[in-house]
Amino acid sequence: MRAPGFAPLDQNAVIVRITSYQNKSPRGTLASPKLEKPVPFASLTQLLLYMEALMDQSNSPQRGEERRAFSGPQAELLQAGILDEETRRELATFQLRVLFRQNASWQGSLIWVDQRMDAQFRSVLELVRLMDSALTMKEECTV
């Protein structure tokens, strides 16, 4: 039985496994305790939209402001996918924790699991740059 007011450790943590990074376009899977099975993504846009849908679904962390869009509410983005051969080979694994959603962006921490390194980010753009620096560094080491 859980103590009132407490949530399971790392309930908001998401594991992002990158399997391909061609032309700076990440492909891989997104895994979370909130998902039945890993969800594949084929672009940075898909990754970010899946993350946003996952946070909206649980309302954690809460939005700082309402979402703005040219059209009405979007359909559910999280869909079951079949893992192909490419998603089994990993370039990098990140543990992503979004602590706040303020100023129309995310703030949190990113752990590069493979290298045991962590960093804080203050916006989605900063998160993208951190992931790019890790993947570019990994790419340069394998060339």
Torsion angle of alpha carbons 29, 16, 135, 99, nearest 10°?
A: 150
Cα-Cα end-to-end distance for the chain: 51
Which whole number is the average pLDDT over 122-128? 95
| 10-19, 38-47, 110-119, range with the lowest pLDDT | 10-19
Helix (H) / strand (E) element for 119: namely strand 117-121
| 15-24, 60-69, 78-87, 93-102, range with the lowest pLDDT | 78-87
- At 142 the pLDDT is 58
| 19-23, 39-43, 86-90, 131-135, range with the lowest pLDDT | 86-90
> Does residue 108 carry a pLDDT above 50?
yes
CA distance 107 to 62: 12
Task: Determine whether 3 is exposed, middle or buried from the number of CB atoms within 10 Å of its CB (0-12, 13-18, 19+).
Answer: exposed
From the list 38, 11, 15, 29, the residue with the least C-alpha distance to 112 is 15
CA distance 136 to 8: 34
pTM for this prediction: 0.75
